[in-house]
Amino acid sequence: MHKRLSSPHPEFDAAAAYRYPDHLRPFLDGLPAAPGVYVFHSDQDVMPLYIGKSVNIRSRVMSHFRTAGEARLLRQSRRITYHLTAGEIGALLLEAQMIKQLQPLHNKRLRRSRQLCSIHLINGLPAIVSAKEIDFAHTPDLFGLFSSRRSAQQALLNIGDTELLCYSLLGLENSRPGRACFRFHLGRCAGACCGKETTQDHHLRLLDALQQMRIFNWPYGGAIGLVEQYGDRRQIHVVNNWYYLGSVEHAWQAAELSTVAHDFDRDGYNILSSPILSGRYEIIELGGS
């Protein structure tokens, strides 16, 4: 009995397995060359297979058809639908919202984080905190958004190594006050632990390294609408405490949406912080808390 050997060229296998999905051809004709979100569906409507976004839906969907590595997705798909938005911001927001709500089989990112953490400076000393413990939208001196305490701790370790900071002053290890830590003897700590540098200098280097990861507090007293427009399509993205609540065409329709933000949303913050703080978009203050 001969043992079947696997191919030494897996990329060749993927290409050989690919067949143009003729069964999906009818859904391509109506795809618009405009911003929005598209969805690959199976026979079951409960859970879509894949959700994606693009500033040009037609072009992006067609790229799936030219990718042999996506043969499995295309074989499983039975239809394609889309949702138009007024631009890239709307597409990003809707994609993130739909992925969290519908949990598509082939999407591996933008999942809801179970333990969102950050580095909080308290009296100059870093502490790792979670979004379940404090309000990330309004707490000052927060740096970085991490999927776990372990990843936040690793970020502190990396900063300590790069900036020659003392692990004991970072709260990463214990040592006796006034005594040089082990890393000082290895030349990996500048000596704030034993008086070779001031704790103020140590703190300033830490703060400088953290600045690029600073989390900005929500700058409004309640919900706002960020106005985005693409051609004749205009949307008002309703946001509160960096949490995306939905999009409407007219400001008065925002009252139909709940303005109560849920848990701090990392994806919402990453998508919205730059557009909202940049001043490039019209902002409508909607009030509420």
- Band of residue 107 on the pLDDT scale cut at 50, 70, 90: confident
Q: Are 98 and 44 spatial neighbours (Cβ–Cβ below 8 Å)?
A: no
Tell whether the model's pLDDT for residue 11 goes beyond 50. no
Every domain of the chain and the residues it spans: 10-102, 117-213, 223-287
Give the model confidence (pLDDT) of 204-217 as tens digits: 999 999 999 999 99
pLDDT given for residue 18 in this prediction: 60
The CATH architecture to which 10-102 belongs is 3-Layer(aba) Sandwich (3.40)
* Placement of tokens 């600073």 in the chain: 214
**How many Cα atoms sit within 13 Å of 55 on the Cβ side?**
6
Which distant-in-sequence residues (6+ apart) come within 8 Å of 38 by Cβ?
31, 51, 52, 53, 54, 57, 60, 61, 80, 81, 82, 83
Give the model confidence (pLDDT) of 79-100 as tens digits: 999 999 999 999 999 999 999 8
Q: In the chain, how many H helices and how many E strands?
A: 8, 10
**Alpha-carbon distance 217 to 170, whole Å?**
24
Tell whether the model's pLDDT for residue 16 goes beyond 60. no
Q: Is 0.75 topped by the overall pTM?
A: yes
